[in-house]
Amino acid sequence: MRVLFATNRQHQPAAAGGIPDFTDTCTALDPANFFCATATVEGVDLIDPNGGRITAISAGNTGSFADEDLQPILDSNKHILVFVHGAANSFTDGITRAAYNQNWLARATLQNASADFDIIAFSWPARAYFFADILGDYVNYRHDQDQARGSAYHFGLLLRSLYELRQRIGRRRLNLLCHSMGNYVLGGAVEQWFSNTAVPLVPVFDEVILAAADEVSTSFATPNNGRLANLWRLGHEVTIYNNRDDVMMKLSHLANRDYRLGYDGPANEADTHFFSPNVYEFVDCTGVNDYVIGSPDRSHQYYRSSPTVRADIAAALAGLTPKRKNYDAAENVYTLF
């Protein structure tokens, strides 16, 4: 399986005969340090969400995608999904997780549509850690948050490449899926991107999925067009998934001393003048009860660990209207469970 990727992690060249690796530290803010390549991932299995291994990485290019890496996507007839991982992911974790997401999406059963996507991953410098040591986890979380904050410029470089790709793929869909702290990366990037009046005015993405977003719940109402206030200019449709049982959102609430978007959505989500139903949909996954992953953070991984949520996301990404259990018009929120 091929995963086209871009990263702002510091690059560690491979030893003789080995595969290059990437650190948990941002590169300097310079296009020459923004590395793009193709990873070959083998051993991806739907029943093992933490499986898969990188067996090769192309020579790649700095600043943008090399023609030889981009050509398979240009030659394909599949739609395209850009994936941004969350906290607690090494480079290998982020790439193999992108491959796993491609796997379960490709197997979705949809009527007259397909969710079999070509994948582009953005790997920002999170580090791998396990939620067992409270003090150590807090230090690692703050590290990841700092690196996510410092990745806005580099994600803007990816957006520039994606706008160029948008012009070359015709009517194929180009979608974005951000998980967890990947949404914090997105918030900073959107703010920086639209502070530049030279950016294109036409949205680059057909669908933007914010899953378990570790981003402040007031992000869409940030003054002076900050954070996610201009996200609607980046995507034609935006779907936000939240879960009040998400253990990581509860811990993030304590760490940041605020409410997170992935916990209960924005406080003003019922305001359909602010959140136009033509653009925004809010989906409450609280009560999710069909996990296929047994990990301690499964309540945070529900976007890929629940077949019900996976089916909903696949339909949205494919451009269909997902079939949901209930819609509360007063609250402007759908529920799945």
CA distance 329 to 96: 39
pLDDT confidence band for 40 (50 / 70 / 90) = very high
| pLDDT above 80 (res 68) | yes
Percent pLDDT > 90 in the chain is: 88
CA distance 70 to 63: 13
CA distance 4 to 117: 12
Rg, the chain, Cα only: 19
CA distance 101 to 104: 5
Count CB atoms within 10 A of the CB of residue 79: 23
Do residues 330 and 278 touch, judged by C-beta distance below 8 A? no
Tens-digit pLDDT profile for residues 236-264: 999 999 999 999 999 999 999 999 999 99
The pTM score is 0.97
Residues 6+ apart with CB under 8 A from 174: 79, 80, 82, 162, 165, 166, 204, 205, 206
The residue written with tokens 């036409």 in the block is 202
User: What's the residue count for the chain?
Assistant: 337
pLDDT confidence band for 14 (50 / 70 / 90) = confident
pLDDT confidence band for 296 (50 / 70 / 90) = confident
Strands 35-42 and 53-57: antiparallel
- Written as one letter, the residue type at 186 is L
Name the DSSP class of 30: S
Give me the pLDDT at residue 47, please.
Answer: 84
| pLDDT above 80 (res 134) | no
CA distance 52 to 334: 34
User: What 3-state class would DSSP assign to 305?
Assistant: helix
| pLDDT above 90 (res 197) | no
| pLDDT above 80 (res 81) | yes
| pLDDT above 70 (res 131) | no
Do residues 316 and 253 touch, judged by C-beta distance below 8 A? no
2-335 belongs to which CATH class? alpha beta
